[in-house]
Structures are given as structure tokens and as C-alpha cells.
Amino acid sequence: MKKLVFILSGILLILSSCSNSSKVTEKGVPVTDTLRYPEETHLKNIQQLTFGGDNAEAYWSYDGKSLVFQRTSAKDGILCDQIYVGKVPRKFGEEFTYKLVSTGKGRTTCPFFTKDGKHIIYASTHLGSEACPPTPDRAKYGNKYIWPLYESYDIFMADLDGKIVKQLTTASGYDAEATLSPDGEQMLYTSDKDGDIDLYIMNLKTGAEKRITNMLGYDGGAWFSPDGTKLIWRASRPKSEAEIKEYKDLLAENLVAPTNMEVWVSNADGSNARQVTTYGQANWAPAYMPDSKRIIFASNHEYKRGFPFNLYTMNEDGTNLQKISRDKGFDAFPMFSPNGKKIVFCSNRNNGGTRDTNVFIADWVE
């Protein structure tokens, strides 16, 4: 599912006048580094890879040569998210081309490369129906921002020609948001199969798995640290009687309202779980940086109105918060390349006053 992208859909047209200007070629490729805001000192040579539609959750292959991402584009007949793969441009200005690798049926989400670079994993609802599943009627819930936990989501492995070679989850209920360990042997994912929304680790070879979280609330969007010793994820923790009731009532309808989330970390086996941020609002899409000590994440905590979302870095204990990006709409889904020299992220910048979210890469400057 797209993590909080659509919460901005009603306000992006207003924000477009605030965006920085960008010079582009006829093919839409930046000719200078005009996609970078002056304050974005850690980013250099920003290149826009996709143009139009909603493109999100772009993640590197283990060798750093390819990206996999999810895409919706009604004008292109892609009515709900499907998964695409493309080679990373070898030099600035080279066009990014990509191909469909999911089935084109149902809704798909959260892709990730396998260690061999020849397969991907992703979640899909296609076994439940070939049509896009219905979206929640948010008016029923006071127009709250709500995610559906589609019961037909399961996680699959496919080759780069789109052929599904294995179904990895079969439990009734929501199974999605999968990533892999640095050695490629363990899959970390989110499921509601035991009555709450928790994290699980599965051994890809044996299928053996372990539940990692057990506190009431949504746990998802989890990653291993690059050195494989730690986990990082986003979590909600309803505490008051009213919060707990709302959470459980929504969960009973296969829904969750992820508007209050904080960053959590633990050891790789789930032990020593602890909350890192206490900012309130939505702190999410966290990942360890290449040194496995610092953290990068997206947040709207500076803005009581709920937007913009920007990228921030901090130490593992939550200290030394630094604001990295400056778009007036949406910057999120940061992931460093395996060598730590580049970063991929998704943003509303340079969308021409539309509601489009696109994929960008940049050189990382310490």
C-alpha cells in the first residue's frame, strides 16, 4: 500500500506554486541540479526517474544496479499499484526505463529484490480477485486517513519476467510490507494473522518463522540494518481507552488509521524493542543509514496541519535530529544504495502542479 501518499491529494495543487523551478529537456530529464532546494546540502545531482502517476517505494537491488517500485497511473490504464523494475541510469541525464513484473491483476505493494538479483518479492491481492480491491469509504469514519488491510494480500516471489515462482505466505488475512535481511535469507514482514498487526521473520529456505512484536498497535514498514544486527520499523501504540477502542474497532473491519506513528528499533531477534521518536503525528518510512548507527525517516511532525512530509536523520537514540529535504508537499521512502553513495526517494517535487509522486535518485553528501 502507498504509505500516506494520498493524504496529500487534496492539497498538492495548492502547494504547487511553492515548488522550486526546474529546467528539463524534451524527454523530461533535468539538465542541471535544479531539482534540489538550496537547503538540501546532503543531496547532490538529483535526477527524476519517473514522470507522472503515483510512483513509490522504490528500492535498490543488492548490487545497486536496479530499482523495483510500485506504480499507479490511471491515464496509462494502471488503476491500482503494480510492480515495475528498471536499471539505474549509469550517468546523470540517462533515461530510466522500466517494465512490469507483477501480474497486472489485483493490487500489489512493497516490492524488494532477492539477493541473487534475479527475483523480487511483493504482496498481491490477485488470488482474491483480478480487479482492484475497493478503497474504504472514509466518510464513514469521520474522513480519517485509513488504510485497508486487504485479507487477500499474500507475499509472492517472481522472476524478472514476471513469472511467480513461489507463494511465500498462505495465512488468512493481511500479509505484506516485506523486506529481506542483508544476507537475503530472512524475510521481515507484517501480518494480522494472530489478531493484531505485527512483525514476523520467515526463513526463506525452510519457511520457519517467528513473531517479532507483541504490543497492541500497528507494527509495519520494517527493515534490517545494513549489518543485519538490528530491526527498525514504524509503530502506533494506542494507550487511552478511546484510542484502544478505535484501533480495535477498525481492525475488526480490516482497517487501520496510521496517523500517529513513531520509530522503533530492536535487536534482529526482536529483543530490546524500544521507541526512538516521540514527536507525535506520523514518523514513518524509517531505515538505518549505511553505518547501521544513524537513522533516516520521513515525518510531518513540524506541521500541525499534517503536511509537508520531509526527510530527517538522527542518531539511533533519537538525538541530533537534522532536516534533510525541503519539498513543500511530500518526500519519503528513503533508501541508500548498497555502497552508501546514493539515495533513492519519492517526492511531489517538480510535478507541474499535479498530484503526481515520482521516484528520484541523488548523490549523498555527508
Q: Is the pLDDT of residue 7 over 80?
A: no
Residue 22 pLDDT more than 80? Answer: no
CA angle 61, 179, 300 (to 5 degrees): 100
Alpha carbon distance 277, 58 (integer Å):
24
Average pLDDT (311-336) is: 97
For residue 145, pLDDT over 80 is answered with yes
281-300 average pLDDT score:
97
Which pLDDT score is estimated for 8? 42
pLDDT (average), residues 147-162: 97
Region of residue 298 (left: phi > 0; alpha: psi -120 to 50; beta: else): beta
The predicted structure's pLDDT at residue 74: 95
Q: What is the mean pLDDT of residues 39-47?
A: 97
* Residue that is written with C-alpha cell 518510512 in the block: 285
What pLDDT, on the 0 to 100 scale, is given for residue 6? 42
Nearest to 309 by CA among 289, 334, 291, 287: 334
Share of the chain above pLDDT 90, in %: 86
pLDDT higher than threshold 80 for residue 69: yes
Please answer whether residues 283 and 275 qualify as being in contact, where contact means their C-beta atoms are separated by less than 8 angstroms: no
| CATH architecture of structural domain 5-364 | 6 Propeller (2.120)
Q: How confident is the model at residue 314, as a pLDDT?
A: 98
Contact at 8 Å (CB) between 270 and 212?
yes
Higher pLDDT, 17 or 161: 161
**Cα–Cα distance measured from residue 277 to residue 298, given in angstroms and rounded to the nearest whole number:** 12
Looking at residue 63, its pLDDT comes to 98
CB-based contact 365:40 (threshold 8 Å):
no
Query: Can you tell me the mean pLDDT for 296-301?
Result: 97
Look at residue 144 in the predicted model and tell me its pLDDT. Answer: 87
Q: How confident is residue 352, by pLDDT bands cut at 50, 70 and 90?
A: very high
Average pLDDT over residues 341-365: 97
Distance of CA 319 to the CA centre of its chain: 24
Using pLDDT thresholds of 50, 70 and 90, give the confidence band for residue 174.
very high
Q: Which residues contact 334 (CB under 8 A, 6 or more apart)?
A: 285, 287, 296, 297, 298, 311, 343, 344, 345
d(CA 327, CA 36): 9
Q: Average pLDDT, whole number, for the chain?
A: 92
240: pLDDT strictly greater than 70: yes
pTM of the model: 0.91
Grid cell for residue 11:
492539497
**C-beta of residue 82 within 8 angstroms of C-beta of residue 101:** no
Dist. CA 266–CA 273, nearest whole Å: 4
List pLDDT tens digits, range 180-209. 999 999 999 999 999 999 999 999 999 999
What are the residue ranges spanned by the domains of the chain?
A: 5-364
**CA distance readout (Å), 315 to 225, 235, 345, 363:** 13, 18, 20, 21
For residues 219-239, one letter each, b for 16 or more C-beta atoms within 10 angstroms of the residue's C-beta and e for the rest, the string is bbbbbbbbeeebbbbbbbbbe
Q: Which of 125, 119, 126, 198 is nearest to 159 (CA)?
A: 119
100: pLDDT strictly greater than 90: yes
pLDDT over threshold 90, residue 262:
yes
Tell me the C-alpha distance between 97 and 84, whole Å: 10
Predicted confidence at residue 331, as pLDDT, reads 98
- 19 pLDDT band, cuts 50/70/90, is very low
- Give me the percent of the chain exceeding a pLDDT of 70: 91
**Cα 291 to Cα 40, 295, 340, distances in angstroms:** 21, 9, 9
Q: With cut-offs at 50, 70 and 90, classify the pLDDT of residue 32.
A: low
Mean pLDDT of 261-278: 97
pLDDT value for 21: 36
Amino acid at the residue 330: F
Choose between 30 and 148: higher pLDDT: 148
pLDDT value of position 223: 98
- Cell 530510466, located at residue: 96
